[in-house]
Protein backbone atom coordinates (compact mmCIF):
# COMPACT_ATOMS: atom_id res chain seq x y z
CA UNK A 1 0.00 0.00 0.00
CA UNK A 2 1.39 3.47 -0.85
CA UNK A 3 2.11 6.01 1.85
CA UNK A 4 -1.04 7.69 3.13
CA UNK A 5 -1.15 11.48 3.31
CA UNK A 6 -2.75 12.43 6.61
CA UNK A 7 -5.20 15.32 6.86
CA UNK A 8 -3.43 18.24 8.49
CA UNK A 9 -5.64 21.11 7.32
CA UNK A 10 -7.07 23.19 10.19
CA UNK A 11 -10.29 21.73 11.45
CA UNK A 12 -12.14 20.10 14.33
CA UNK A 13 -13.71 16.74 15.10
CA UNK A 14 -17.49 16.83 15.44
CA UNK A 15 -19.94 13.95 15.43
CA UNK A 16 -20.84 10.45 16.52
CA UNK A 17 -18.86 7.25 15.91
CA UNK A 18 -19.81 3.65 16.67
CA UNK A 19 -16.44 2.00 17.17
CA UNK A 20 -15.94 -1.63 16.10
CA UNK A 21 -16.60 -4.51 18.46
CA UNK A 22 -14.10 -5.16 21.22
CA UNK A 23 -11.13 -7.16 19.91
CA UNK A 24 -10.28 -8.90 23.20
CA UNK A 25 -13.89 -9.96 23.74
CA UNK A 26 -14.34 -11.03 20.10
CA UNK A 27 -11.34 -13.38 20.34
CA UNK A 28 -12.60 -14.93 23.55
CA UNK A 29 -16.18 -15.28 22.29
CA UNK A 30 -15.02 -17.41 19.35
CA UNK A 31 -12.86 -19.56 21.61
CA UNK A 32 -15.55 -20.12 24.23
CA UNK A 33 -18.16 -20.73 21.53
CA UNK A 34 -15.89 -23.38 20.02
CA UNK A 35 -15.31 -25.30 23.29
CA UNK A 36 -18.92 -24.97 24.53
CA UNK A 37 -21.70 -27.42 23.76
CA UNK A 38 -24.32 -26.20 21.31
CA UNK A 39 -24.84 -23.02 19.32
CA UNK A 40 -23.38 -19.63 20.14
CA UNK A 41 -24.43 -16.42 18.38
CA UNK A 42 -22.09 -13.43 18.64
CA UNK A 43 -23.45 -10.00 17.73
CA UNK A 44 -21.26 -6.98 16.81
CA UNK A 45 -18.13 -9.10 16.54
CA UNK A 46 -15.08 -7.21 15.30
CA UNK A 47 -14.51 -7.73 11.57
CA UNK A 48 -10.73 -7.32 11.49
CA UNK A 49 -7.71 -9.41 10.56
CA UNK A 50 -6.77 -10.61 14.05
CA UNK A 51 -10.28 -11.85 14.83
CA UNK A 52 -10.56 -13.48 11.42
CA UNK A 53 -7.36 -15.32 12.31
CA UNK A 54 -9.04 -16.71 15.44
CA UNK A 55 -12.04 -17.78 13.39
CA UNK A 56 -9.79 -19.52 10.85
CA UNK A 57 -7.80 -21.38 13.54
CA UNK A 58 -10.91 -22.88 15.13
CA UNK A 59 -12.42 -23.76 11.77
CA UNK A 60 -9.21 -25.73 11.09
CA UNK A 61 -9.87 -27.50 14.42
CA UNK A 62 -13.21 -28.72 13.07
CA UNK A 63 -15.56 -26.04 14.45
CA UNK A 64 -18.38 -24.92 12.15
CA UNK A 65 -18.49 -21.12 12.09
CA UNK A 66 -20.91 -19.17 9.89
CA UNK A 67 -20.43 -15.42 9.42
CA UNK A 68 -23.03 -12.87 8.26
CA UNK A 69 -23.05 -9.08 8.29
CA UNK A 70 -25.01 -9.12 11.56
CA UNK A 71 -23.45 -11.90 13.61
CA UNK A 72 -21.22 -14.95 13.89
CA UNK A 73 -22.83 -18.34 14.51
CA UNK A 74 -20.71 -21.11 16.07
CA UNK A 75 -21.59 -24.77 16.50
CA UNK A 76 -19.59 -25.66 19.60
CA UNK A 77 -17.86 -29.04 19.85
CA UNK A 78 -16.58 -29.01 23.44
CA UNK A 79 -12.90 -29.56 24.22
CA UNK A 80 -13.08 -33.23 23.23
CA UNK A 81 -14.71 -32.48 19.89
CA UNK A 82 -11.84 -30.42 18.53
CA UNK A 83 -10.24 -32.24 15.60
CA UNK A 84 -6.68 -32.64 14.39
CA UNK A 85 -5.92 -29.95 11.78
CA UNK A 86 -4.87 -31.18 8.34
CA UNK A 87 -2.15 -28.53 8.01
CA UNK A 88 -0.23 -26.05 10.17
CA UNK A 89 -2.31 -23.73 12.35
CA UNK A 90 -1.48 -20.21 11.13
CA UNK A 91 -1.83 -17.51 13.81
CA UNK A 92 -0.92 -14.65 11.47
CA UNK A 93 -0.08 -11.54 13.50
CA UNK A 94 -2.35 -12.29 16.44
CA UNK A 95 -0.53 -12.80 19.73
CA UNK A 96 -3.84 -12.96 21.58
CA UNK A 97 -5.06 -15.84 19.42
CA UNK A 98 -1.84 -17.75 19.93
CA UNK A 99 -1.31 -17.24 23.66
CA UNK A 100 -4.91 -17.98 24.66
CA UNK A 101 -5.20 -20.92 22.27
CA UNK A 102 -2.12 -22.57 23.76
CA UNK A 103 -4.20 -23.13 26.90
CA UNK A 104 -6.93 -24.84 24.86
CA UNK A 105 -4.54 -26.84 22.70
CA UNK A 106 -2.37 -28.01 25.61
CA UNK A 107 -4.58 -31.08 26.24
CA UNK A 108 -5.31 -32.16 22.68
CA UNK A 109 -4.53 -35.84 21.96
CA UNK A 110 -2.93 -35.06 18.58
CA UNK A 111 0.19 -33.30 17.35
CA UNK A 112 0.06 -29.79 15.87
CA UNK A 113 2.43 -27.47 14.05
CA UNK A 114 1.91 -23.77 14.89
CA UNK A 115 3.15 -20.92 12.69
CA UNK A 116 2.66 -17.15 12.32
CA UNK A 117 3.88 -14.15 10.36
CA UNK A 118 7.36 -12.67 10.69
CA UNK A 119 6.34 -10.27 13.47
CA UNK A 120 4.53 -12.86 15.61
CA UNK A 121 7.39 -15.33 15.10
CA UNK A 122 9.71 -12.93 16.94
CA UNK A 123 7.43 -12.37 19.91
CA UNK A 124 8.28 -14.31 23.11
CA UNK A 125 5.95 -17.11 24.19
CA UNK A 126 7.95 -18.39 27.16
CA UNK A 127 5.70 -16.73 29.75
CA UNK A 128 2.83 -18.93 28.51
CA UNK A 129 4.80 -22.04 27.60
CA UNK A 130 6.59 -22.34 30.96
CA UNK A 131 3.49 -22.67 33.20
CA UNK A 132 1.75 -24.82 30.59
CA UNK A 133 4.86 -26.99 30.57
CA UNK A 134 4.45 -27.43 34.32
CA UNK A 135 0.90 -28.61 33.62
CA UNK A 136 2.15 -31.23 31.15
CA UNK A 137 2.34 -29.53 27.75
CA UNK A 138 5.37 -30.93 25.92
CA UNK A 139 7.26 -29.31 23.06
CA UNK A 140 10.03 -31.50 21.60
CA UNK A 141 12.54 -28.64 21.37
CA UNK A 142 13.41 -25.70 23.60
CA UNK A 143 11.66 -23.29 21.22
CA UNK A 144 10.10 -20.24 22.90
CA UNK A 145 8.86 -18.58 19.71
CA UNK A 146 7.00 -19.71 16.61
CA UNK A 147 7.12 -22.07 14.85
CA UNK A 148 6.11 -24.52 17.59
CA UNK A 149 5.36 -28.22 17.54
CA UNK A 150 2.94 -29.48 20.19
CA UNK A 151 3.04 -33.17 21.02
CA UNK A 152 -0.14 -35.16 21.77
CA UNK A 153 -1.28 -34.74 25.37
CA UNK A 154 -4.54 -36.02 26.78
CA UNK A 155 -4.29 -34.80 30.38
CA UNK A 156 -3.02 -31.76 32.25
CA UNK A 157 -1.81 -31.44 35.83
CA UNK A 158 -3.28 -28.87 38.20
CA UNK A 159 -1.14 -25.83 38.92
CA UNK A 160 -0.58 -23.27 41.65
CA UNK A 161 1.04 -20.35 39.85
CA UNK A 162 2.02 -16.78 40.68
CA UNK A 163 2.08 -14.62 37.57
CA UNK A 164 5.59 -13.09 37.43
CA UNK A 165 4.35 -10.38 35.06
CA UNK A 166 0.84 -8.90 34.99
CA UNK A 167 -0.65 -10.48 31.87
CA UNK A 168 -4.30 -11.12 31.07
CA UNK A 169 -3.21 -13.31 28.15
CA UNK A 170 -1.17 -15.67 30.35
CA UNK A 171 -3.95 -15.75 32.93
CA UNK A 172 -6.50 -16.58 30.22
CA UNK A 173 -4.37 -19.38 28.79
CA UNK A 174 -4.11 -20.90 32.28
CA UNK A 175 -7.88 -20.59 32.78
CA UNK A 176 -8.47 -22.58 29.58
CA UNK A 177 -5.87 -25.13 30.63
CA UNK A 178 -7.28 -25.29 34.16
CA UNK A 179 -10.69 -26.29 32.78
CA UNK A 180 -8.97 -29.44 31.45
CA UNK A 181 -6.74 -30.24 34.45
CA UNK A 182 -6.99 -33.13 36.93
CA UNK A 183 -7.93 -30.87 39.85
CA UNK A 184 -8.25 -27.20 40.79
CA UNK A 185 -5.79 -24.67 39.35
CA UNK A 186 -4.90 -21.55 41.35
CA UNK A 187 -3.63 -18.42 39.60
CA UNK A 188 -2.23 -15.59 41.73
CA UNK A 189 -2.22 -12.07 40.26
CA UNK A 190 0.04 -9.64 42.14
CA UNK A 191 -1.49 -6.88 39.98
CA UNK A 192 -5.06 -7.25 38.67
CA UNK A 193 -5.44 -7.60 34.89
CA UNK A 194 -8.36 -7.63 32.45
CA UNK A 195 -11.11 -10.01 33.53
CA UNK A 196 -12.84 -10.64 30.18
CA UNK A 197 -12.11 -14.37 30.33
CA UNK A 198 -13.59 -14.81 33.80
CA UNK A 199 -16.70 -12.84 32.83
CA UNK A 200 -17.15 -14.86 29.66
CA UNK A 201 -16.67 -18.14 31.50
CA UNK A 202 -19.67 -17.17 33.61
CA UNK A 203 -21.69 -16.16 30.52
CA UNK A 204 -21.18 -19.68 29.10
CA UNK A 205 -22.38 -21.31 32.33
CA UNK A 206 -19.03 -21.90 33.98
CA UNK A 207 -17.67 -20.63 37.29
CA UNK A 208 -14.48 -19.27 38.78
CA UNK A 209 -13.72 -18.33 42.36
CA UNK A 210 -11.71 -15.27 43.32
CA UNK A 211 -10.36 -14.73 46.82
CA UNK A 212 -8.34 -11.54 47.09
CA UNK A 213 -5.70 -11.89 44.35
CA UNK A 214 -6.11 -15.65 43.78
CA UNK A 215 -8.32 -17.05 41.01
CA UNK A 216 -9.37 -20.72 41.30
CA UNK A 217 -10.53 -22.74 38.28
CA UNK A 218 -12.25 -26.09 38.77
CA UNK A 219 -11.92 -28.66 35.95
CA UNK A 220 -14.54 -30.64 34.04
CA UNK A 221 -17.04 -27.81 33.74
CA UNK A 222 -19.59 -28.13 30.94
CA UNK A 223 -19.99 -24.91 29.00
CA UNK A 224 -23.15 -24.16 27.03
CA UNK A 225 -23.61 -22.07 23.89
CA UNK A 226 -25.21 -18.66 24.36
CA UNK A 227 -25.91 -15.32 22.67
CA UNK A 228 -23.41 -12.50 23.24
CA UNK A 229 -23.40 -8.79 22.43
CA UNK A 230 -19.84 -7.54 21.94
CA UNK A 231 -19.49 -3.94 23.17
CA UNK A 232 -17.55 -1.34 21.23
CA UNK A 233 -13.80 -1.72 21.73
CA UNK A 234 -12.55 0.72 24.36
CA UNK A 235 -9.05 0.56 22.89
CA UNK A 236 -10.48 1.75 19.55
CA UNK A 237 -12.62 4.41 21.25
CA UNK A 238 -9.47 5.62 23.03
CA UNK A 239 -8.15 7.17 19.82
CA UNK A 240 -11.25 9.37 19.55
CA UNK A 241 -11.17 10.21 23.27
CA UNK A 242 -7.64 11.57 22.97
CA UNK A 243 -8.38 13.24 19.64
CA UNK A 244 -11.45 14.91 21.13
CA UNK A 245 -9.38 16.23 24.03
CA UNK A 246 -6.51 17.55 21.92
CA UNK A 247 -7.93 18.78 18.60
CA UNK A 248 -9.32 22.32 19.14
CA UNK A 249 -13.11 22.87 19.26
CA UNK A 250 -13.97 19.17 19.06
CA UNK A 251 -16.99 17.26 20.40
CA UNK A 252 -17.22 13.49 19.87
CA UNK A 253 -19.93 11.05 21.02
CA UNK A 254 -19.11 7.33 21.25
CA UNK A 255 -22.15 5.06 21.87
CA UNK A 256 -22.13 1.47 23.21
CA UNK A 257 -18.47 1.44 24.24
CA UNK A 258 -17.27 -1.26 26.63
CA UNK A 259 -16.77 0.12 30.14
CA UNK A 260 -15.22 -2.89 31.86
CA UNK A 261 -13.25 -1.28 34.73
CA UNK A 262 -10.20 -3.41 33.92
CA UNK A 263 -10.07 -1.74 30.48
CA UNK A 264 -10.82 1.93 31.15
CA UNK A 265 -7.51 2.79 32.81
CA UNK A 266 -6.80 5.41 30.13
CA UNK A 267 -9.92 7.37 31.09
CA UNK A 268 -8.87 7.35 34.73
CA UNK A 269 -5.36 8.57 33.92
CA UNK A 270 -6.71 11.27 31.61
CA UNK A 271 -9.03 12.36 34.40
CA UNK A 272 -5.97 12.71 36.63
CA UNK A 273 -4.62 14.99 33.90
CA UNK A 274 -7.73 17.16 34.22
CA UNK A 275 -10.03 15.65 31.59
CA UNK A 276 -13.78 15.20 32.10
CA UNK A 277 -15.93 12.68 30.23
CA UNK A 278 -19.71 12.42 30.22
CA UNK A 279 -21.09 8.88 30.58
CA UNK A 280 -24.71 8.10 29.68
CA UNK A 281 -26.85 5.04 28.88
CA UNK A 282 -24.63 2.83 31.04
CA UNK A 283 -25.66 -0.84 31.15
CA UNK A 284 -24.67 -3.30 33.89
CA UNK A 285 -24.45 -6.48 31.82
CA UNK A 286 -21.67 -9.02 32.27
CA UNK A 287 -19.63 -6.69 30.07
CA UNK A 288 -20.87 -3.16 30.88
CA UNK A 289 -21.15 -0.57 28.12
CA UNK A 290 -22.30 3.01 27.70
CA UNK A 291 -22.02 6.25 25.72
CA UNK A 292 -18.94 8.46 26.22
CA UNK A 293 -18.89 12.14 25.21
CA UNK A 294 -15.67 14.17 25.05
CA UNK A 295 -14.81 17.80 24.27
CA UNK A 296 -11.51 19.68 23.91
CA UNK A 297 -9.85 20.37 27.26
CA UNK A 298 -6.53 21.47 28.78
CA UNK A 299 -4.44 18.70 30.34
CA UNK A 300 -1.79 18.65 33.07
CA UNK A 301 1.30 16.43 33.28
CA UNK A 302 1.03 13.04 34.98
CA UNK A 303 3.23 10.47 36.75
CA UNK A 304 2.45 6.88 35.69
CA UNK A 305 3.97 3.89 37.53
CA UNK A 306 4.02 0.11 37.02
CA UNK A 307 0.84 -0.23 39.11
CA UNK A 308 -1.07 1.73 36.44
CA UNK A 309 0.33 -0.11 33.43
CA UNK A 310 -1.77 -3.34 33.18
CA UNK A 311 -5.05 -1.41 32.79
CA UNK A 312 -3.62 0.89 30.11
CA UNK A 313 -1.00 -1.22 28.32
CA UNK A 314 -2.56 -0.93 24.85
CA UNK A 315 -3.25 2.79 25.17
CA UNK A 316 0.18 3.99 26.31
CA UNK A 317 1.14 5.34 22.84
CA UNK A 318 -1.96 7.56 23.08
CA UNK A 319 -1.10 8.58 26.63
CA UNK A 320 2.33 9.68 25.42
CA UNK A 321 0.70 11.75 22.68
CA UNK A 322 -1.62 13.37 25.25
CA UNK A 323 1.39 14.13 27.47
CA UNK A 324 3.11 16.01 24.61
CA UNK A 325 0.24 18.51 24.79
CA UNK A 326 -0.09 18.62 28.60
CA UNK A 327 1.29 21.34 30.87
CA UNK A 328 4.52 20.16 32.53
CA UNK A 329 6.76 17.09 32.58
CA UNK A 330 5.14 13.64 32.49
CA UNK A 331 6.79 10.34 33.45
CA UNK A 332 5.59 6.90 32.31
CA UNK A 333 7.60 4.07 33.90
CA UNK A 334 7.21 0.33 34.51
CA UNK A 335 6.08 -0.26 30.92
CA UNK A 336 8.90 -2.52 29.65
CA UNK A 337 6.16 -4.88 28.36
CA UNK A 338 5.80 -2.44 25.46
CA UNK A 339 9.11 -3.62 24.06
CA UNK A 340 7.64 -7.04 23.13
CA UNK A 341 4.38 -5.95 21.53
CA UNK A 342 3.79 -5.95 17.74
CA UNK A 343 6.90 -3.79 17.67
CA UNK A 344 9.10 -2.17 20.31
CA UNK A 345 6.50 0.46 21.15
CA UNK A 346 8.76 2.48 23.44
CA UNK A 347 11.31 2.95 20.68
CA UNK A 348 8.72 3.40 17.92
CA UNK A 349 6.62 5.99 19.79
CA UNK A 350 9.69 7.99 20.75
CA UNK A 351 11.19 7.89 17.26
CA UNK A 352 8.01 8.80 15.38
CA UNK A 353 6.73 11.57 17.66
CA UNK A 354 10.16 13.17 17.70
CA UNK A 355 9.83 13.51 13.92
CA UNK A 356 6.86 15.79 14.66
CA UNK A 357 8.80 17.90 17.17
CA UNK A 358 7.74 16.19 20.42
CA UNK A 359 10.13 16.45 23.39
CA UNK A 360 10.43 12.80 24.54
CA UNK A 361 13.20 10.93 26.33
CA UNK A 362 13.21 7.15 26.00
CA UNK A 363 13.90 4.91 29.04
CA UNK A 364 14.22 1.10 29.19
CA UNK A 365 10.76 0.96 30.78
CA UNK A 366 9.02 4.10 29.55
CA UNK A 367 9.24 7.78 28.73
CA UNK A 368 9.78 11.31 29.98
CA UNK A 369 7.66 13.80 28.03
CA UNK A 370 7.89 17.60 28.23
CA UNK A 371 4.84 19.59 27.18
CA UNK A 372 3.08 21.30 25.75
CA UNK A 373 4.99 21.12 22.47
CA UNK A 374 3.41 22.36 19.22
CA UNK A 375 3.70 19.54 16.68
CA UNK A 376 5.13 20.49 13.29
CA UNK A 377 6.97 19.13 10.28
CA UNK A 378 9.94 20.29 8.28
CA UNK A 379 9.03 20.16 4.57
CA UNK A 380 7.19 16.82 4.27
CA UNK A 381 7.59 14.41 7.17
CA UNK A 382 7.11 10.67 6.73
CA UNK A 383 6.16 8.73 9.84
CA UNK A 384 6.03 4.94 10.06
CA UNK A 385 3.55 2.60 11.76
CA UNK A 386 6.33 -0.02 12.15
CA UNK A 387 3.65 -2.51 11.12
CA UNK A 388 1.81 -1.80 14.40
CA UNK A 389 -1.86 -0.89 14.19
CA UNK A 390 -1.89 1.16 17.39
CA UNK A 391 1.21 3.15 16.41
CA UNK A 392 -0.38 3.89 13.02
CA UNK A 393 -3.63 5.20 14.51
CA UNK A 394 -1.81 7.23 17.16
CA UNK A 395 0.24 8.93 14.45
CA UNK A 396 -2.92 9.67 12.45
CA UNK A 397 -4.34 11.47 15.50
CA UNK A 398 -1.04 13.31 16.03
CA UNK A 399 -1.18 14.52 12.42
CA UNK A 400 -4.50 16.27 13.14
CA UNK A 401 -2.59 18.66 15.40
CA UNK A 402 0.48 19.03 13.20
CA UNK A 403 1.22 21.96 10.94
CA UNK A 404 2.40 20.72 7.56
CA UNK A 405 1.96 17.60 5.45
CA UNK A 406 2.49 14.23 7.14
CA UNK A 407 2.75 10.95 5.25
CA UNK A 408 2.13 7.63 7.03
CA UNK A 409 4.01 4.55 5.89
CA UNK A 410 2.52 1.16 6.72
CA UNK A 411 -1.05 2.40 7.20
CA UNK A 412 -2.37 -1.05 6.20
CA UNK A 413 -1.43 -2.30 9.67
CA UNK A 414 -4.48 -0.45 11.01
CA UNK A 415 -6.70 -3.13 9.42
CA UNK A 416 -5.58 -5.53 12.15
CA UNK A 417 -8.00 -3.96 14.63
CA UNK A 418 -9.89 -1.04 13.01
CA UNK A 419 -10.41 -1.44 9.25
CA UNK A 420 -12.72 1.57 8.92
CA UNK A 421 -10.58 3.95 11.00
CA UNK A 422 -9.95 6.42 8.18
CA UNK A 423 -13.61 6.32 7.12
CA UNK A 424 -14.71 7.22 10.66
CA UNK A 425 -12.07 9.95 10.78
CA UNK A 426 -13.45 11.44 7.57
CA UNK A 427 -17.00 11.55 9.00
CA UNK A 428 -15.75 13.48 12.09
CA UNK A 429 -13.41 15.95 10.38
CA UNK A 430 -14.89 19.42 9.87
CA UNK A 431 -12.76 22.08 8.20
Reported pTM:
0.87
What whole-number distance in Å separates Cα of residue 129 and Cα of residue 340?
16
Q: How many residues does the chain have?
A: 431
Average pLDDT of the chain is 94
pLDDT given for residue 205 in this prediction:
97
Q: Which residue has the higher pLDDT, 218 or 379?
A: 218
Residue % of the chain over a pLDDT of 70: 98
pLDDT at 9 over 70: no
Point out the catalytic residue in the list 90, 195, 308, 314.
314
Q: 10 Å Cβ neighbour count for 363?
A: 14
What whole-number distance in Å separates Cα of residue 402 and Cα of residue 380?
11
Provide mean pLDDT across the span 307-317: 92
Residue % of the chain over a pLDDT of 90: 84
What whole-number distance in Å separates Cα of residue 366 and Cα of residue 348?
12
Q: How confident is the model at residue 192 (pLDDT cuts 50, 70, 90)?
A: confident
Pinpoint the alpha helices (H) of 71-195. Answer: 95-105, 126-135, 168-178
Active site residue 69: no
pLDDT at 37 over 80: yes
pLDDT given for residue 80 in this prediction:
96
Provide mean pLDDT across the span 323-351: 94
Q: How confident is the model at residue 74 (pLDDT cuts 50, 70, 90)?
A: very high
Q: How confident is the model at residue 342 (pLDDT cuts 50, 70, 90)?
A: confident
What whole-number distance in Å separates Cα of residue 275 and Cα of residue 46?
29
Peptide bond into 244 cis (omega under 30): no
Angle between helices 234-246 and 23-35 (to 10 degrees): 170
pLDDT at 1 over 60: no
Q: What pLDDT digit, counting tens, does each position of 140-167 carry?
A: 888 899 999 999 998 899 999 999 988 9
With contact defined as beta carbons under 8 Å apart, do 246 and 401 qualify? Answer: yes
Amino acid sequence: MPDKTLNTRPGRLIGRVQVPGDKSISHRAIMFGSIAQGETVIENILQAEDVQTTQSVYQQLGVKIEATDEHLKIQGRGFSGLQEPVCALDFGNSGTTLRLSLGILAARPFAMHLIGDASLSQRPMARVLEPLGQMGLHIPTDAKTLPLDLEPNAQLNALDYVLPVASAQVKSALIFAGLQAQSATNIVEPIATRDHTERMLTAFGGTSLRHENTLTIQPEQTLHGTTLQVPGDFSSAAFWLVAGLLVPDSHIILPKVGLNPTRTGLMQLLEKMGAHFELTDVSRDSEPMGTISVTTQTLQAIQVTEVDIPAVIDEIPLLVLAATQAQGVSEIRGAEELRVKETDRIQAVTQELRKLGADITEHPDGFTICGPTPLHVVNKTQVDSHGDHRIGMMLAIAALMTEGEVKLSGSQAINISYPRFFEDLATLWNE
